[in-house]
């Protein structure tokens, strides 16, 4: 048993090493980074973080990201709920084809869509707005949300619906007061995944924004190009992007495995 | 059994509209470009399928496609078995389970370009932890900006770091759904650990593993940001994967026609392989 638990421990250590290095770098001065190797920060400094929290172009990057990620999560889950219910409860003309077509959008390489997306959102006058990025991310998040929710809903026996109708519940009343609470774990997991994929995606977010809605991840490229120059600042900005993910993951920790299985365990 | 109800379409309509807006208009734009030639000023000439022929025959595309398949193949062959081994050795219950799950999921929640930047900082010679350790402690010359082999090893290790947890979490979800009675029965029969794995654990993990392979195939085949930030496709073209090459052609050289044709070929390959997995998976669902 002892020997066995060595494998997850080694694996987690491997996962934590680059993260540790990023965090350690964020507390070092540029001088220290460039002057040579040190395992721990020798002259511990918070200057890198100070720059980020006092420069509007930096901290607005975070606010922009949070705004469009939240918008996307709300839109994706809201429209995916009724659709997933339809897929899990009814047969209708073209249902299988539609379900697969939705999935194909999860498969599309973002690089394929970058330029047409820019043209599309420019022509409808949404370029450089939060809602543009939120809508664009729906392309891959809605299919994912439908897929996850359908998996969770499939686990709820149909008798629940039928009993409610016999008891005189209308559909909206039943859906909100009985069905939603039953699958609230699924809703949480779907929201988590939408948050996650919208948060980590950069190519489309960067293509669709210039100034007003520029995501933090794009903001970081301005230091990345000058290799070795502002590594401490880059590391601090990177460290801060890990925190929102770490917070949301804590809330879904008991369901995350089931969520990754798309509710199909 | 599901009931037939055509009104269900109304439930699906919002999803349909939103996704169609995002999917159909751009894909039609791409199709448009792929059969036309432009010299700017919005003047287009009909080109037919010339771009497709040109792309399919070009050495550059074939080389990028070859690198892409090699990358995806290596990713699947490393991450899937590794993920299963880690999932098998994880505790089934106890206070350490949520800790393990949260720590393991952490890399997946980091923005993709931060992943690239993080690995850049980690592997820099003299400055990075790994770069320093390899060069100055072990004495192995390691610089991925100079050496294509080092660059390949680095992007593979980075992806293993980034996504193996997905396979672990999926396999783990499959494993904990196995009732204890199965293991007790196996014990009474005196089954070896291998037999337990082969005849109890593996069949139970089949659905989740199919999802894992499907997701890992799609995402590693479409990968762009992480290797782009880490190596920029270099040294030379050695790590220029399909997406990186596509963006170079489309946004770097502004060759819209060839880029569009390449996009469609690229998408078609992803679709074909994913469709094979999907039919396999829904066949399992039906049983």
Any B CB within 8 A of A23 CB: no
Q: Which two tokens stand for residue B91?
A: 């505790």
Q: Is the CB of B225 less than 8 angstroms away from the CB of A104? A: no
Q: Which chain B residues are Cβ-neighbours of A21 within 8 angstroms?
A: 118, 121-122, 128-129
Helix ranges restricted to H, chain B: 8-34, 50-57, 59-88, 96-105, 112-123, 129-132, 148-176, 180-188, 193-196, 202-204, 206-221, 225-231, 242-247, 256-286
Q: Which residues pair with B38 in a beta bridge?
A: B44
- Residue pair A109/A158 in contact (Cβ under 8 Å)? The answer is no
Give the span between the Cα atoms of B233 and B272, in whole angstroms: 26
Task: Return the H-helix or E-strand segment holding B36.
Answer: strand B36-38
Please report which confidence band the pLDDT of residue B190 belongs to, taking 50, 70 and 90 as the band edges: confident
Q: Which residue, chain included where needed, has tokens 């859906």? A: A175
pLDDT digits (tens, 9 = 90+) for B247-257: 888 777 777 77
CATH class held by domain B58-286: mainly alpha
Nearest residue on chain A to B28, alpha-carbon basis: A116
Q: Which chain B residues are Cβ-neighbours of A254 within 8 angstroms?
A: 98
Nearest residue on chain B to A146, alpha-carbon basis: B15
Any A CB within 8 A of B137 CB: no
Give the span between the Cα atoms of B114 and B117, in whole angstroms: 5
Put simply, the chain A residues between 25 and 84 with a CB less than 8 A from any chain B CB are 25, 33-34, 36-37, 39, 75, 79-80, 82-83
DSSP state for residue B127 in the 8-state scheme = T
Q: Is the CB of B9 less than 8 angstroms away from the CB of A86? A: yes
* Domains, chain A, ordered by start: 1-45 (no CATH), 55-260 (1.10.3720.10)
So what's the pLDDT on residue A264? 61
Give the span between the Cα atoms of A142 and B12, in whole angstroms: 11
Q: Is the pLDDT of residue B33 over 90?
A: no
Give the span between the Cα atoms of A145 and A79, in whole angstroms: 9
Q: Provide the residue ranges of all domains of chain B, joining segments of one domain with +.
A: 58-286
> Taking the model in full, what pTM does it have?
0.86
Q: Is the CB of A264 less than 8 angstroms away from the CB of B165? A: no
So what's the pLDDT on residue A258? 67
- Average pLDDT on B229-257 reads 81
CB nearest to B122's CB, from A18, A100, A196? A18
CB nearest to A109's CB, from B112, B176, B266? B266
Q: Is the pLDDT of residue B142 over 60?
A: yes
DSSP state for residue A177 in the 8-state scheme = I
So what's the pLDDT on residue B43? 66
Q: Which chain A residues are Cβ-neighbours of B280 within 8 angstroms?
A: none
So what's the pLDDT on residue A226? 47
CB nearest to B117's CB, from A90, A224, A245? A224
Give the span between the Cα atoms of B283 and A121, in whole angstroms: 39
Residues of chain A with pLDDT under 50: 225-228
Any A CB within 8 A of B169 CB: yes
pLDDT digits (tens, 9 = 90+) for B69-83: 999 999 999 999 999
Q: Which chain A residues are Cβ-neighbours of B26 within 8 angstroms?
A: 113, 116-117, 120
So what's the pLDDT on residue A184? 85
How many CA atoms, within 13 angstroms, populate the side-chain half-sphere of residue B116? Answer: 24
Here the ipTM equals 0.84
Q: Which chain B residues are Cβ-neighbours of A18 within 8 angstroms?
A: 118-119, 122, 129, 161
Any B CB within 8 A of A16 CB: yes
Residue A125: Cβ-neighbour burial (10 angstroms; 0-12, 13-18, 19+):
exposed
Give the span between the Cα atoms of B219 and B199, in whole angstroms: 30
């Amino acid at each position: 048993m002892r020997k066995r638990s060595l494998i997850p421990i080694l694996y987690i250590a491997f996962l934590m090493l680059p993260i540790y290095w990023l965090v350690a770098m964020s507390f070092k001065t540029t001088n220290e980074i460039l002057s040579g190797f040190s395992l721990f920060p020798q002259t511990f400094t918070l200057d890198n973080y100070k720059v980020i929290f006092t420069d509007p172009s930096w901290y607005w990057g975070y606010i922009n990201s949070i705004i469009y990620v939240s918008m996307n999560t709300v839109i994706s889950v809201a429209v995916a709920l009724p659709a997933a219910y339809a897929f899990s409860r009814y047969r209708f003309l073209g249902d299988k084809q539609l379900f697969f077509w939705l999935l194909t959008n999860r498969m599309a390489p973002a690089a394929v869509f970058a330029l047409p997306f820019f043209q599309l959102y420019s022509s409808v006058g949404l370029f450089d707005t939060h809602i543009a990025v939120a809508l664009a991310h729906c392309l891959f998040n809605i299919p994912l949300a439908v897929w996850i929710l359908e998996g969770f809903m499939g686990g709820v026996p149909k008798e629940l619906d039928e009993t409610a109708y016999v008891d005189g519940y209308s559909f909206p009343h039943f859906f909100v007061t009985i069905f939603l609470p039953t699958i609230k774990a699924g809703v949480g997991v779907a929201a988590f995944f939408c948050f996650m994929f919208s948060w980590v995606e950069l190519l489309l977010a960067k293509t669709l924004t210039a100034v007003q809605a520029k995501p933090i991840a794009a903001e970081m490229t301005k230091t990345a190009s000058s290799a070795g120059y502002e590594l401490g600042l880059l590391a601090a900005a990177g460290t801060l992007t890990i925190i929102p993910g770490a917070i949301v993951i804590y809330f879904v920790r008991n369901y995350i495995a089931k969520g990754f299985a798309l509710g199909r365990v | 059994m599901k009931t037939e109800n055509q009104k269900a379409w109304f439930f699906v309509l919002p999803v349909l509209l939103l996704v169609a807006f995002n999917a159909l208009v751009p894909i039609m734009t791409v199709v448009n470009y792929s059969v036309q030639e432009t010299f700017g000023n919005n003047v287009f000439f009909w080109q037919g399928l010339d771009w497709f022929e040109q792309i399919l025959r070009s050495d550059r595309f074939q080389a990028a496609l070859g690198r892409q398949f090699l990358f995806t193949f290596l990713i699947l062959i490393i991450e899937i078995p590794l993920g299963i081994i880690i999932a098998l050795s994880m505790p089934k219950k106890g206070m350490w389970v949520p800790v393990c799950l949260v720590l393991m999921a952490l890399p997946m929640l980091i923005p993709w370009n931060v992943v690239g930047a993080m690995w850049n900082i980690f592997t820099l010679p003299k400055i990075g932890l790994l770069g320093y350790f390899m060069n100055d402690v072990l004495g192995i010359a390691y610089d991925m900006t100079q050496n294509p082999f080092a660059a390949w090893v680095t992007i593979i290790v980075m992806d293993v770091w980034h996504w193996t947890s997905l396979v672990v979490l999926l396999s783990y979800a499959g494993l904990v759904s196995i009732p204890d009675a199965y293991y007790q029965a196996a014990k009474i029969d005196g089954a070896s650990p291998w037999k337990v794995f082969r005849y109890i654990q593996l069949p139970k993990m089949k659905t989740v593993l199919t999802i894992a392979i499907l997701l890992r195939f799609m995402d590693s085949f479409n990968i762009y940001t992480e290797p782009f930030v880490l190596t920029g496709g270099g040294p030379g073209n050695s790590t220029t994967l399909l997406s990186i090459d596509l963006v170079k052609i489309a946004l770097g050289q502004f060759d819209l026609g060839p880029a569009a044709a390449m996009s469609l070929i690229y998408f078609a390959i992803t679709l074909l392989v994913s469709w094979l997995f999907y039919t396999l998976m829904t066949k399992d669902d039906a049983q």
